[in-house]
Amino acid sequence: MLTALDGAYGDRADAVVVAGRAASYEELLAAARAVAADVAGAPAFAVTATASLETVAAVVGGLLAGVPFVPLPPDAGPAEREHILKDSGAVTVDVDFARRAAAAPAGAGGGPDGPALVLYTSGTTGAPKGVVLTRAAIAADLDALAEAWQWSADDTLVHGLPLFHVHGLVLGVLGALRTGSRLVHTGKPTPDAYAGAGGSLYFGVPTVWSRIAADAEAAGALSGARLLVSGSAALPAPVFRDLERLTGLRPVERYGMTETLITVSGRAGGEVRPGTVGTPLPGIRTRIAAEPGAEIGELQLTGPTLFSGYLGRPEATAAAYTGDGWFRTGDIAAVDEDGVHRIVGRASIDMIKSGGYRIGAGEIENALLDHPKVQEAAVVGVPDADLGQRIVAFVVAEGVTGAELTDFVAAHLSVHKRPREVRFVASLPRNAMGKPQKKLLLAGEAGPASQ
Ligand code: MLC
Ligand code: AMP
């Protein structure tokens, strides 16, 4: 599956660089075999997925052993870690990149339909669910993207995204190892790090691109690249235009989800327009479930890149599909006469995207309600020029500060899920059914940065 590790493209001492440490394919493979020996026979295994060569060895080791890999967010607090470990049944493993093995364990390996990854992702309510992705789905997606982006062993891929989500882990690590492109992971996705990395292909979430576009010198350093790709949230049109002005490149946007992998994308060398995410990748079919006479509606899709289900939750899996077998993305979209897709927004106000992270309002509300001083809580995503949306918590509480509540969520769930702002209110506006009226809480906030 990882063609580069089979020697298809030769080797070099710095084939994979993560946060300043370099490894050859041979070294990576030997470290991954040691991981495979440790995890062989386990139902699943979990590793704290820091931006490191250890995480790269872990994901490869899981594939060699045929044991699903569960990446743990390094900034996760005890509640989130425990939920993921209990729900997945994964054993925890520490990876030592200096440990090497000459061969994968005997009898190890997985078939194409075997689970490769279990990635935890938030719904609108409740705790995150484990999304099971097969090797076949991952391979199909990476091959489709390689075609769309003319992504090859001639490329050097640069990014600094977290290694516990699709973007950084599947595209950003497995994609490099399947196409044979050299990988430079910058540790953090800062403008300076991207500028200094000398890549031909760059991945980023819109927050990363907007910070680069605000730094003319860093952006200018990317003008020698072949392709800049944005995804995980909507790229604001002003950021698109600033990037084009400063780099001479029109960034390509692509659209995806943990459950579907990347399904729609602009093409390298094709026409790209700000505010659009391109056309379906080979093998993907899309449709818009619109009311009669309307042009926008829920985007639904089918294809070989879809997940095989939410781990242990057949009802949630069934609910994610229409009666005729199309996956319901929950995103509202429109398609023009050329088949070019435009993502208009989310169907649910309770699904927040902040800095490219998907965060369920219900999960944050539950965490806040676990605080003894909090009586009521309602969480919304407020338009934010840097993060796309920022998490704002409206709470009814006494005897506690906003900073204390922020730290409470950061410590229990994870740092990237913490509210950026806490507003104390005397009561929450509720409808006749007693449900908080979040639209009223959002009234008066500025529109999205892209409009
Ligand atoms: C601040 N910090 C705290 C804290 N407040 N720590 C503990 N408690 C508190 N109360 C610290 C953090 O630990 C961190 O430290 C520092 O402050 C900054 O953290 P941050 O503010 O959260 O980072 P920020 O700069 O806002 O991050 C922006 C970002 C990040 C773009 C780098 O949001 C990001 O990496 N996003 C990528 C998300 C992604 O990959 N999504 C893909 C999903 S897959 P320190 O020391 O660590 O800096 C998908 C499919 C698809 O969507 O289509 O791709
Ligand atoms: P996740 O499961 O974290 O991968 O988040 C998936 C969600 O990210 C999708 O349902 C969309 O709401 C959003 N998303 C991903 N890519 C884009 C994009 N290019 N434009 C707009 N939204 C996007």
- Ligand 1: atom nearest CA of 207 is 31
CA of 8 to the centre of ligand 2 (A): 33
Which class would CATH give 351-442? Answer: alpha beta
The residue whose C-alpha atom lies closest to atom 3 belonging to ligand 2 is: 358
- Ligand 1 contacts (CB < 6 A) are 75, 161-162, 165-168, 189, 205, 207-208, 231-232, 256-258, 355-357, 406-407, 410, 415-416, 418
Do 3-188 and 351-442 have matching folds? no
Give the pairing type, strands 341-346 and 327-335.
antiparallel
Contacts of 69 (CB under 8 A, 6+ apart): 44, 45, 46, 47, 58, 59, 61, 62, 63, 116, 117, 118
What's the rounded Cα separation, in Å, for the pair 290 and 299? 9
- In sequence order, the β-bridge partners of residue 118 are 132
CATH fold group of domain 3-188: Rossmann fold (3.40.50)
Q: Which residue has the tokens 């953090």?
A: 188
Q: What is the pTM of this model?
A: 0.96
- Residue nearest ligand 1's atom 37 by CA: 356
Nearest ligand by distance to the CA of 354: 1
- Residue 248 DSSP SS3: coil
From the CB of 209, is ligand 2 less than 6 Å away? no
Which of 315, 392, 402, 312 is closest to 359 using CA atoms?
392
How do residues 4-61 score in pLDDT, each as one tens digit?
Answer: 999 999 999 999 999 999 999 999 999 999 999 999 999 999 999 999 999 999 999 9
The CATH class of 256-346 is: mainly beta
Closest atom of ligand 1 to CA, residue 262: 53
Instruction: Locate the ligand 2 atom nearest the alpha carbon of residue 131 and give its number.
Output: 2
* Shortest-distance atom of ligand 1 to CA 188: 32
Q: Which ligand gives the minimal distance to the CA of 186?
A: 1
Q: CA-CA distance, 213 to 220, in Å (whole number)?
A: 9
Convert the pLDDT of each residue in 278-317 to its tens digit. 999 999 999 999 999 999 999 999 999 999 999 999 999 9
pLDDT score of 446: 62
Q: Which of 164, 230, 255, 306 to mutate to test the pocket of ligand 2 (most atoms within 8 A of CB)?
A: 255
Distance 100 CA to ligand 2 centre (A): 37
Give the ligand at the shortest distance from the Cα of 164: 1
Q: Does ligand 2 have an atom closer than 6 angstroms to the CB of 409?
A: no
Q: Whose CA is nearest to atom 14 of ligand 1?
A: 415
- Coil, helix or strand at residue 291: coil
Cα 432 from Cα 98, distance rounded (Å) = 62
Q: What pLDDT score was predicted for residue 450?
A: 37
Low-confidence ranges of the chain (pLDDT < 50): 448-451
- Show the tokens assigned to 203: 């991945």
Backbone φ and ψ of 37, nearest 5°? -65, -35
Minimal-distance CA residue to ligand 2 atom 22: 233
CB of 131 closer than 6 A to ligand 2?
Answer: no
Taking every pair of Cα atoms in the chain, the longest distance, rounded to a whole number of angstroms, is: 67
Pairwise CA distance, residues 247 & 217, whole Å: 10
Say which DSSP state 69 is in: E
Which helix (DSSP H) or strand (DSSP E) does residue 29 occupy? Answer: helix 25-39
Q: What is the pLDDT of residue 184?
A: 98
**Nearby residues of 404 by Cβ (< 8 Å), 6 or more positions away:** none
pLDDT score recorded for residue 449: 42
User: What is the domain partition of the chain in residue ranges?
Assistant: 3-188, 256-346, 351-442
CA dihedral 334, 336, 341, 346 (to 10 degrees): -10
Q: Tokens for 160, please give them.
A: 């600094």
